[in-house]
Amino acid sequence: MKEILIISGKGGTGKTTVTASLADLAAQKYQLVMADADVDAANLEILVNPTVEKEYAFMAGNIAVIDQDSCTLCGRCAQVCHFDAVRETDDAPYYIDPAYCEGCLSCVHQCPVDAIKVHNHQSGEWYRSKSPYGPLFHANLYPGEENSGKLVTVIKESARAFGEDSCKDFLLIDGPPGIGCPVTAALNGVDIAVIVSEPTPTGFHDMRRVKAAADFFHIPTLLVINKHDLNLKMEDTMRKYAGEKNIPVIGVIPYDEHIVHAQSLYQPITQTLHARYQPIFQQLWEQIRLHIGM
């Protein structure tokens, strides 16, 4: 099974739009499994109409909790915490804020009266759903929670295991924005990363950073320039950069306000704006298959 990740560096360049359209085309001839690795703001479900079949609790890891009755207010926990998680609140002089606690358990060991306990913490949910294009693994990280990298890993590994077991041809992953833990978790082990960028100063800047992240993990990359006609000069600059870095430019998509409106139809644009976008995405899909050796 080949694994294709769609990333961008910058948010809003069109990853989900591209992923949904590729899924639509790929599913016509191949067996597909999908994963939405943007667990903070999972949007692929808006376009692929999934029905949840199985739901799982996501247990992030441990957090430390102070038993206020046993606490002697010595402040040792606040001294040792490297994450500024021990805060004063109206109810307690020493309270560990779960949003900041990283579960290192240093305070648990250091508390002289053993007043700090370890709790396993549910920080989200993930789902195996079915959709018209194939099974979808997606998640919902509760707001303010940490550990999105682990949740991305859980989704990917489940999607991968499911795909291998049911002999799927492709795992298509809608990636998260940025270059941090969710992106590195998404990058690990994929066969190819398709960078979707835009010809703007920020699009180009972030494309270079995400390319560096892909290089760090030795993942080959391809480039798609979305909204390419907004700035043809910048498109040219990006193509030159891609040439220098040996990133094949596999296609471009025009700036089109119809796409913005078409999102509200809750379908991939290869369906809703079929005449214009079916041929464009067909070409992108063929190029991806070519580079991945399928």
Please say which residue, 12 or 279, places its beta carbon nearer to another protein: 12
- Tokens for 88? 């004063």
Site of tokens 């409106």? 261
Candidates 40, 130, 192, 289; binder of another protein (CB under 8 A) is 40
145 in contact with another protein (CB under 8 A)? yes
Q: Provide, rounded to whole angstroms, the least separation between the CB of residue 34 and another protein.
A: 17
Q: Provide, rounded to whole angstroms, the least separation between the CB of residue 215 and another protein.
A: 9
Using the rule CB under 8 A, give the single segment among 5-13, 19-27, 241-249, 276-284 that binds another protein: 5-13
Q: Cβ atoms within 10 A of the Cβ of 109, count?
A: 10
Task: Return d(Cα 227, Cα 234) in angstroms, integer.
Answer: 11
Task: Return d(Cα 155, Cα 149) in angstroms, integer.
Answer: 10
Please say which residue, 31 or 43, places its beta carbon nearer to another protein: 43
Please give the size of the binding site for another protein, defined by CB under 8 A: 73
Task: Return d(Cα 284, Cα 290) in angstroms, integer.
Answer: 10
Q: Residues 58-97: x/- map of binding to another protein (CB under 8 A)?
A: -xxxx-----------------x-xxx-------------
Burial 242-258 (b: 16+ CB within 10 A, else e): beeeebebbbbbeebee
Candidates 31, 49, 56, 157; binder of another protein (CB under 8 A) is 157
144 in contact with another protein (CB under 8 A)? yes
Please, which residues have CB within 8 angstroms of residue 279's CB and are 6 or more apart in sequence?
none
181 in contact with another protein (CB under 8 A)? yes
Q: Provide, rounded to whole angstroms, the least separation between the CB of residue 53 and another protein.
A: 21
Q: Provide, rounded to whole angstroms, the least separation between the CB of residue 69 and another protein.
A: 25
Using the rule CB under 8 A, give the single segment among 4-12, 29-37, 277-285, 286-294 that binds another protein: 4-12
Residues in region 191-210 near another protein by CB under 8 A: 198-202, 205-206, 209
Please say which residue, 241 or 255, places its beta carbon nearer to another protein: 255
- Tokens for 76? 């040792």
Please say which residue, 71 or 259, places its beta carbon nearer to another protein: 259
